Structure 1
Amino acid sequence: MTDLHDLIPPLLALCHRAGQAICRHYHAPGDVAVESKQDDSPLTRADLDSHVILREGLQALAGGLPVLSEESSPETKARRHDWPRFWLVDPLDGTKEFVAGTGEFTVNVALIDQHRPVLGVLYQPLAQLAYVGIPRTGAWRYGLAGDGRWQGEPIHTRALRQGQPLAVLASRRHRGERLRNALAWLEQAWGPLERHNSGSALKFCHLAEGEGDFYPRYSPCCEWDVAAGQALVEGAGGAVLGLDGEPLQYNRRDTLLSAPFLAIGAPQHTLWQRYQAALSE
């Protein structure tokens, strides 16, 4: 088996190439043409160009493992249950943000082994920043220096401190009763809350680098939206759990929709044990 650390440099280069293709469309006036997929989610030329770059590049890594991307064909998606180890990819996470021009979009790449993410990369094309996580090993933030080399530094989730407001990471596009109930429970149990809104998988990045405490997701999303973020958060010392309190697993169900989840920066704190108990009542 390839050492996971050996995969980081080629993954950074590959995500950067995909990001360059995305940015060419983002910065070209009138070039953000939008189609609708069967589920009414948007699809752009940037999604497709990034998909092709990542699919071809990933197939050349780690012994030619299969690639499951949001933009893969229905036939490829139907074969996925036979894959114990594969790449799970969202070539452009945050297409709505891309179309709206907010800049809050990422490239997500995860290596799945026996239903668990063992390596994840989240790349921000506009900032040329990459976040890499290997569960139980570590997490790093990489920036592209002027000489073309990647410079990395370790990142960690932060501890909860009494008297400090609880920073909740959420999407400005997703609200709903379950989120409101969660925030109300936390405010009563903990005290003051701060809500930080951002698009796409950036919330995982913020959690992993200690800029938030909690990212709950109850609205629908897909497994390729979550897997790389889970690897990152776990590598940084946090957890991404289903509502049953167990780490999320992938490629086990007929659907590619992710189960609702709670991404937690300091999972050992008693607050989260109490919250999990409240969910089961």
Structure 2
Amino acid sequence: MKARLNQQEVDYRIEGTSSPGEAGVQLAADTDLTAGNAWATAGYVVAPWLTKNENELLRNGLAELVRAALRNTGLEIAADWDVTNYHRVVGTDAARHLAVVNQTKEFPLTALPLPVTVLEARVSELCGRKVRVHNPANGQQAFHLRIVRPQITDNNPPHRDTWLDRLRHGLNIYFPVAGSTADSSLPLVPGSHWWPESQTSRTQAGAVYNGNQYSVPALASATTPLEFIRPNPGPDEVLLFSPYLLHGGAVNLNPDQTRISLEMRFWAV
């Protein structure tokens, strides 16, 4: 599938049976937590996050979770080791990387370096509605650290989270922990949260992307040109975005830095 990312052509190799979506806009029937905000049309905003001290505590604590996951695979990792060097110790060892990912793909909220209420209060302020980290569809309360090595396709394929029913009605955040730059941060298609489903074709669940299988259906094609951008939040900023936006395909083009990010989902109280 051809697309453009930051005005450069990319080709996403996606396999699996695909079909056009049904008529209608998915978000029109769901809760829109972007509504009423200046950024509702775009579907995302880059905004100041917590206090400088809280941002530092959060970032350092999350980096330590990655170090701990590496230690659990048998590596000796110092307390001050720079996690942007993740790819240097893991390399292309698929088994070790999977062992780390299996630890970092879902943490309980008690593992957060800050009380979750601090994050919930700030996201509530940014979207103008009280939200919390509690999925009403399944009761899940968790956060995720995504690790994307440079020049290796560790990232999800382009998709909407809401192609999985349990992820509808919410709002997402992306907070840079390490190695998040204009060449590695999360891409998205502004305004695509209001695209009719018939404007896209998607695979069934379990799409194969660059040889790896994922649980989420993947975007296979679109009738509108796909123009992805990387909003690229700074170290004291957060990317808040609608899960109905087309996003993903975040190939890390950094020459020598692993990208690590905090990803969380919020729903209305």
* TM norm structure 2: 0.29
Higher share of residues assigned helix? 1
* TM norm structure 1: 0.28
Q: Report 1 or 2 for greater relative contact order, CA contacts < 8 Å, sequence distance ≥ 6.
A: 2
